[in-house]
């Protein structure tokens, strides 16, 4: 029986670099600025065009080894007290499995050019994390293979975590999403070949209009 080797290093974690040392290592190769608003950890603001290079360096540099992307977090600074920069930001909290140090990379995003590069091929967890951020904030991840809704249904209009989204708004779903494109992509990734796509259907109606009573047939005291 073959046992798959774990990516988690054996033995206790090593101390790693201090926050100032991490800043020095990154500053030697990239233009990064420490975010003064992070009073408890280390957040570095980086240019979006260098994001992929920085994330690859964080992962592969022997003294850093940030092998785990913890999340992809969207931020909307609309009406945030004292904020004068770009409206949006995307944060990438990173963790090393070898050392005890951590870092968060922050990329600011302009409201009129709401695009950042995708890092899905560098960190597998970024695939769904980027989809969630796009779904909730409308930030586009250029190069993502399947940027579709993840938490909201496929007929949803808008992005509910934007500060100007009407929070009391309700949006109905009329048909199911069969998600065949995602299923086929998963099968191809596992080495299967799609021989026949079959007949395509628009989806199954969620509610049957004939089962909904009209106002004229509903009387006081009736249970609906």
91 or 181: which carries more pLDDT confidence? 91
186 membership: H or E segment, kind and range: helix 180-189
User: What is the DSSP-derived secondary structure letter of residue 5?
Assistant: P
Q: What's residue 207's pLDDT?
A: 56
Q: What is the pLDDT of residues 139-164, one digit of tens each?
A: 999 999 999 999 999 889 999 999 99
Q: What's residue 6's pLDDT?
A: 54
Q: Quick check: 44 and 50 in contact, CB under 8 A?
A: no
Which 3-state string (H, E, C) describes 68-101?
EECCCEEEECCCCCCCCCCCEEEEEEEECCCECC
Residue 86 pLDDT greater than 80, yes or no:
yes
| Full-model pTM | 0.81
Q: What is the mean pLDDT of residues 183-208?
A: 75
C-alpha torsion angle, residues 128, 133, 139, 140 (rounded to 10): 0
Q: What's residue 181's pLDDT?
A: 79
Structure tokens at 203: 């989806």
Q: Is CATH 2.20.25.90 correct for 19-165?
A: no
- 170 by Cβ neighbours in 10 Å (0-12 / 13-18 / 19+) ranks as exposed
Q: What's residue 206's pLDDT?
A: 61
Candidates 157, 203, 205; CA nearest to 180 is: 203
* d(C-alpha 68, C-alpha 64), whole Å: 11
User: What is the DSSP-derived secondary structure letter of residue 12?
Assistant: P
């Amino acid at each position: 029986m073959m046992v798959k080797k774990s990516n988690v290093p054996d033995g206790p974690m090593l101390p790693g670099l201090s926050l100032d040392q991490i800043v020095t290592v990154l500053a030697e190769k990239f233009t990064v600025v420490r975010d003064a608003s992070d009073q408890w950890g280390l957040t570095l603001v980086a240019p979006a065009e260098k994001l992929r290079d920085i994330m690859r360096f964080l992962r592969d540099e022997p003294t850093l080894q940030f092998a785990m992307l913890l999340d992809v977090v969207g931020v909307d600074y609309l009406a945030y007290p004292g904020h004068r920069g770009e409206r949006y930001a995307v944060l990438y909290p990173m963790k090393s499995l070898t050392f005890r140090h951590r870092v968060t990379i922050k990329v600011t995003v302009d409201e009129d050019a709401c695009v950042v590069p995708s890092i899905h091929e560098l960190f597998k967890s970024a695939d769904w994390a980027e989809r969630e951020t796009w779904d909730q904030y409308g930030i586009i991840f250029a190069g993502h293979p399947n940027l579709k809704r993840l938490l909201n249904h496929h007929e949803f209009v808008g992005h509910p975590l934007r500060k100007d989204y009407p929070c009391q708004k309700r949006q109905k779903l009329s048909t199911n999403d069969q998600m065949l494109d995602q299923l086929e992509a998963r099968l191809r990734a596992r080495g299967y070949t799609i021989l026949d796509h079959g007949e395509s259907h628009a989806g199954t109606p969620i509610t049957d209009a004939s089962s909904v009573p009209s106002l004229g047939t509903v009387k006081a005291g009736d249970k609906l």
